[in-house]
Structure 1
Amino acid sequence: MNKAQISELQDRLEAIEPKLQSEGFLNNKGLGNEIGFYIFDYSPKAEVLVNEQLDMICQRLEKRGRKFIHLNLFDVLLEMLESRKLLEKAFQLHKVKGDEALLKALKGPLDQKRIAEFLIKKIEPNSQDFVLLSGLGSCWPLLRGHSLLNALHADMGDTPLVLFYPGSYTGLELHPFGIIDSANYYRAFELVPHKKLSIQK
């Protein structure tokens, strides 16, 4: 990332907290009757910076008494496997047979619908002002952003949800990591839009 990209990301990170506390965000205003799902996309190279800033934002919001839940999706997947006594078996399978065998074996236990159901039980949407999800990059390709959001759609009600996405989001398509030739359609809102950079003549 160059200096301009880092500066723009820092500006966007600083805009997250005011957005999460805004009346429009909390009450789903101005969304045209669409569900309040938001995406904050960023370069995977900035993963550490984003996580550090997100932790600080969450600490400040907790001190202000805001009711929300922040879940790391990788931790959620580990918890799911542990709850079904599959975590140690998964480690052993990966050690012996590698990535492809592990992905194939976990396709059923970590079906997107099952993950969504597990998340909803942890989240309890009606008890939260909003929900923050991070850690998606560590779960790929076991978990895909567009598939997860689609699976959660019916059960979140009016509770806003923000997915922190390591890649790029065009407003219509999710591109994982910005280097993988995979465009996945999903219609959500940009939590903090990117600045439109002027073109130098």
Structure 2
Amino acid sequence: MNFEEKLSNVELKIKDPSLKPDYYIFDYDPKYELKIRNEVKYLKDKINNSHIGIKIIEFDLYEIILDILKSKGYLEKTFEFEKKKGRNLAKKAVTKMLKLSMDSNLIVQYIKERYSPDSIIFITGVGKAYPLLRSHNVLNNLSQQIDDVPVIMFFPGKYSGLDLLLFNTIKDSNFYKAEPLIK
């Protein structure tokens, strides 16, 4: 199935009443990132303005990181820290502040506090959030917190059903409970 065919099936899949609360991945060639962003916006507008009884809530991982840093007063400090100490130390500091390796992961808490039981969660911004955030971290931690709605991650790379390959080159962890959204 080519990209256009795969993309055209997303709307049908999310409107399908048999779509169960589970974790799904829509993988795509990173060269289609802008098309994916447009399609996500289109789907949100169309579904959220219809009367079919579901709501799409998009969580852009990069925007969440920025929002958390701003709300804690760390955004400008992070830029200054990176200038003084370098990118690697700034990444470590942000990762620690976001508690990404803990049960109290701030990204997961952010999503958990803002979704509703009648929704479908779209997770976007995976590529933009790299290298600060790895998608397997979000999926593994989120799956322990939210299990009552469908969660769809739009992933710029390849998903084999087990392995994620970000940008078709960077291997991520290989433990996933997600299934491909479109097979």
Q: Residues 39-50 of structure 1: matches in 2 within 5 Å?
A: 39-50=25-36
Give the match's secondary structure for 1:178. Answer: coil
Instruction: Specify the alignment match of 1:21 in structure 2.
Output: 15
Whole-angstrom distance in 1 between the partners of 2:65 and 2:154: 16
What is the identity, as a one-letter code, of the residue corresponding to 1:23?
A: P
Determine the structure 1 residue equivalent to 2:109. Answer: 117
CA deviation profile, 1:89-115 (whole Å, cap 9, x unmatched): 011122333311211211211222222
1:109-188 correspondence to structure 2 within 5 Å: 109-112=97-100, 113-123=105-115, 125-126=116-117, 128-188=118-178
The answer as to 2:4 corresponding to 1:10 is: yes
- For these two proteins, the number of residue pairs brought into alignment is 177
Runs of 4+ in 1 over 4 A off after TM superposition: none
Contact 2:29 2:157 (8 Å CA) reproduced: yes
Question: Aligned letter for 1:55?
Answer: K
Aligned 8 A contact 2:23 2:150 in 1: yes
One-letter amino acid of the structure 2 residue matched with residue 62 of structure 1? N
Q: Does structure 2 conserve the Cα–Cα contact (< 8 Å) formed by 1:73 and 1:135? A: yes
TM-score by length of 1: 0.82
What's the offset of the Cα at 1:183?
A: 4.8
RMSD across aligned positions (CA) = 1.6
Residue number in structure 2 paired with 1:54? 40
- Partners of 2:119 and 2:34 lie apart in 1 by 26
- Compute the TM-score of the two structures, normalised by the length of structure 2: 0.89
Contact 2:163 2:172 in 1 (8 A): no
Counterpart check, 1:37 vs 2:23: yes
Q: Distance in 2 between matches of 1:140 and 1:40?
A: 17
Match of 2:75?
Answer: 87
Residue 19 of structure 1 and its aligned partner are, at CA, apart by 0.5
Pick which of 66-75 and 169-178 moved more.
66-75
Match of 1:9, as an amino acid? F
Q: What displacement does 1:146 show?
A: 1.2
Q: Residue 33 of structure 2 aligns to which amino acid in structure 1?
A: E
Higher deviation after alignment, 97-106 or 161-170: 97-106
Identity of aligned residues (%): 30
Partner of 2:64: 76
Q: Which has the larger radius of gyration?
A: 1
SS at match of 1:167: strand
CA offset at residue 181 of structure 1?
4.2
Pick aligned residue for 1:105 from 54, 69, 93: 93
